[in-house]
A and B are shown apart, each in its own frame.
Chain A
Amino acid sequence: MTATPGREQVSRVLQQHGALMVLAALVIVGSVAFDSFATAGNAASVLVSSSFTAIIAVGMTFVIISGGIDLSVGSLFVFGGVLAAYGSQYGLFVALALPLAACGLVGLLQGLLIARTGMAPFIVTLAGLLGVRGLMLAISNEGATTYLVKDSAFARLGQGGVLGLTWPVYITALLAVAAMVLLQRTAFGQNVYAVGGNEQGAALMGVPVARTKVYVYLMSGLLAGLAGVLNAARLSSGVTILGIGLELDVIAAVVIGGTLLTGGAGGITGTIAGVLLLGVIQSLINQVGNLTSAFQQVVSGLFLALVVVAQRLLGRAQRLG
């Protein structure tokens, strides 16, 4: 079956920007339907609450494009937050460096295991999910101790801001732009696509496959930790009960954003659109009032199923022969 160029292009655009289009449509519908939706306050609250997921999702996008998956990010998010709150008693630097070093190390270890032993990313990061949660509980007296942020400069990092948006939103935006450049405009980014698209072929084309994988998991660990750090700053404490199932929300957002779970295709724009889409759905459901947040999960799940089915069909249309 030969796809005509026109059809192929349409399906490609849909795949890459479908989430963005749905997002735009939802924003319009929401603005028309609810008076309180299209307000600066509501927009800011959607952006602020989405920013933490978005940071993690950026790292996850790299992992998934490389053909892997990282289930440990939810645990790393909490772990990073607890470490940051704990470290804040020693000042701003420790509050930042300690969690990033620890989460980066976990990411590095996972990457090494995946790249060097050939164990499935799914399993390695599943062990990471459990192990890191254990570590987090171990340093927080089984979750009973909630460290409070002692450093006011650190707290301002999460709570301060300009133009009605807090710093984490700006940091997220910066990171997203940096990630876009990294992915599209550097050799590393090209290697990530190549490894995910055809690992054997990439090796033959001279791509350092193992090193690329290690970096990708290292990055994902660092970003999950950073999201945790910022969240701790926002909440002024290292809350231990967050982050359960967060990895799945993040993966869902990335996949909804058009990144293929089979690897080799996708991008940061889509991921950000996916995260915002889930945030807007949440916000809309809040507007309806009598619907619980559980309803959002139903919609997210349905949407995810719809997206993967659509991706299958679009993928078929894009392939020749």
Chain B
Amino acid sequence: MSQSAAPVLEARQISKRFPGVVALDGVSLALLPGEVHALVGENGAGKSTLIKVFTGVHRPDGGELIYNGAPAAFGTPLDAQRAGISTIYQEVNLVPMMSVARNLMLGREPRGRLGVIDTARMYGEAERILAGYGVVTDVRRPLRALGMGVQQMVALARAVAIDARVVIMDEPTSSLEPREVETLFSVIRKLRDDGIAVVYVSHRLDELYEVCDRVTVLRDGRVAHTGPLAELERLKLIALMLGRDLDEVRTGGLTRFSRDRRRARERDGARPVVQAEGLTRRQVLHGVDVSVWPGEVVGLGGLLGAGRSETAKGIVGALPLDAGRVLVAGLPLRTGSTTAAIRAGVSLLPEDRKAEGIIPALSVRENIALAALPSLSRAGVVSDAKIDKVVEVFMRRLRIKAASPHQPVQELSGGNQQKVLLARWLAIRPKILLLDEPTRGIDVGAKAEVQALVDELAEEGLGVLLISSDLEELVEGADRILVLREGAVVGELSGDDVTEDKIMASIAERGAESDG
């Protein structure tokens, strides 16, 4: 545990605002030398913003950063790194095509005669350093030829070798094999013993409890809790992350979902509109089964990284699968083809609106019509009349606020962009809608409208798969909930069992030893 020393890095009342969002609101966090500090929180809680403040990517708007007892302002990530704060990202930030040794030694290669790099010594030194991390490999091989675990270890070794005093790890185990995780943990413990402060960001509770000393929970840009981890119950930790108070009995009613809708669907004789069986993808999904009946809203619960988005992407063919199949209304779907999925009536509202949803420079009208273009044209020529009609219908029905249908969609608010995307999908008259975080990052009014719309669509007989980190939304919106953890379904809740407590309990269950 900590040696009761002065904090090596301390955030004091840090605030950071982005247009329309307060990402951090008076966050304080003290990092002691020789501790492994877990930093947890759901999407939008402010974790990544805080990390970016620590590493010089963002400048805080308020508050100050104390490093080694003196106020610090890092202009660039490089400044922070030179000062001794290193970050190991999920996507390893090295040069994949360069050799392991050259990556490890870049910028401080051993020189020989004539000031030329002494390769023999460089390879020897690299081998020696990596051996200290339990990695034995041919250091001449390009980095990308090695497994993610080794790559991560190289990044870690590099960070430590350049005299890091603080090492920040962002989801370091997300692409590691169990054996590699063990190696990583022993390295982390060694760092701790050497007096280095480690910030450990992860959603795998088992791992947090195994390797971390203290925890700070962020929620909505504020610190929800900070303290020793061992004293904190699992269920309590999840409740803190999800913003739920265990003692308080929830009465709900804050969302726009109608409460009287939950009912057991009449399934006799009917077929599920979509039936996914054994969806498997290395390190991401491990045999996920999901079925949705017409008119049913199925919720996917679980923490970040549990495989919810991946399940949705696997169903529409946007994520290559190693195994598994998808049936739509009983007919098998060609895997790996979004075009086939969409033609069969399956559509996905992706989580990342900017990167995977909108075409920013195109107008509202064109964004809405995009997927339905073939049906809105005659002999390949788009029919303005048909498009206008569809666009008008959906802009009115979804109450999309835009100066005109011809306004570029990038100028709209997040909520309206989301509605445009919903309109894009509704315009193709799908049989099932997969909604990945449909209300994230949109204002309260739009959120209520989207929720009401989901209800309405289900009433009309559409199947809906709802992914949401907002427990309340999930509980009130879904008829049935599948809880995912580490790429597998670990619980199914229906009827009266659909409660926030039960979801959290299901997530909290200790992971089986055979995980991974």
Contacts and interface: CB of A to CB of B under 8 A. Distances in A.
A320 B98 contact: no
A320 B146 contact: yes
Interface in A232-275: 260, 264-265
A249 B241 CA distance: 60
Interface stretch (A99-107, A135-143, A204-212): A204-212
Contacts of B26: none
B97 interface: yes
Contacts of A186: 115-117
Interface string A50-89: 0000000000000000000000000000000000000000
Nearest to B118: A185
Interface string B93-104: 111111000100
A202 B95 contact: yes
Contact of B96 (A12, A190, A197): A197
A206 B81 contact: yes
Contacts of A320: 144-148
Contacts of B106: 190, 194, 205-207
Given A187-B117, A190-B102, A190-B109, A203 B144 contact: no
A318 interface: yes
A200 B144 CA distance: 16
B87 to A, nearest CB: 8
B107 A205 contact: yes
A8 interface: yes
Contact of A204 (B78, B96, B142, B175): B78
Contacts of B491: none
B95 A264 contact: yes
Given A205-B107, A207-B107, A318 B94 contact: no
B82 interface: yes
Interface in B169-224: 175
A264 B142 CA distance: 11
Interface in B259-284: 282-283
Contact of B82 (A190, A206, A264): A206
Contacts of B77: 203-204
B119 interface: yes
Given A186-B116, A205-B107, A193 B82 contact: no
A102 to B, nearest CB: 30
Interface string A1-29: 00101001000100000000000000000
Most central of A5, A204, A319 by chain B CB within 10 Å? A204
Interface string B139-152: 00010111110000
A193 B117 CA distance: 15
A292 interface: no
Contacts of B95: 193-194, 197-198, 201-202, 205, 264
B217 to A, nearest CB: 28
A130 interface: no
Contacts of B116: 181, 185-186
B47 to A, nearest CB: 19
A289 interface: no
Contact of A193 (B102, B115, B146): B102
How many interface residues does chain B have, given as a range?
20 to 34
A129 B107 CA distance: 34
A184 B78 CA distance: 25
A157 B175 CA distance: 59
A206 B159 CA distance: 12
A234 B61 CA distance: 65
Given A319-B144, A320-B144, A320-B146, A203 B109 contact: no
Contacts of A185: 116-117, 119
A284 to B, nearest CB: 33
Interface in B279-303: 282-283
A202 B146 CA distance: 19
Interface in A169-201: 181, 184-187, 190, 193-194, 197-198, 200-201
B117 A204 contact: no
B145 A8 contact: yes
Contacts of A187: 107, 109, 117
A321 interface: yes
A205 to B, nearest CB: 5
Interface in B120-177: 142, 144-148, 158, 175
Nearest to B91: A201
Contacts of A3: 145
A101 B359 CA distance: 47
Contacts of B107: 187, 190, 205-207
B144 A198 contact: no
Nearest to B145: A8
A200 B76 CA distance: 12
A227 B161 CA distance: 44
Contact of B142 (A12, A184, A190, A194): A12
Nearest to A199: B95
A206 B94 contact: no
Contacts of A8: 145
A207 B97 CA distance: 16
Contacts of B97: 193, 197, 260, 264-265
A185 B110 CA distance: 10
A205 B93 CA distance: 9
Contact of A206 (B78, B109, B115, B148): B78
Contacts of B109: 187, 190
A321 B107 CA distance: 29
B78 A203 contact: yes
A190 B77 CA distance: 20
Nearest to A182: B116
A166 to B, nearest CB: 29
Interface string B312-352: 00000000000000000000000000000000000000000
A321 B281 CA distance: 10
Given A187-B107, A193-B102, A320-B148, 18 more contacts: A12-B145, A185-B116, A185-B119, A186-B116, A187-B117, A190-B106, A194-B98, A194-B106, A197-B97, A198-B93, A198-B96, A201-B93, A201-B95, A204-B93, A206-B107, A207-B106, A265-B142, A321-B283
14 contacts: A3-B145, A185-B117, A187-B107, A187-B109, A190-B117, A194-B106, A197-B96, A198-B94, A203-B78, A204-B77, A205-B94, A318-B145, A320-B145, A320-B146
Give me the 3 closest cross-chain CB pairs, A-B, nearest first: A197-B95, A201-B93, A264-B97
Interface of B: 77-78, 81-82, 93-98, 102, 106-107, 109, 115-117, 119, 142, 144-148, 158, 175, 282-283
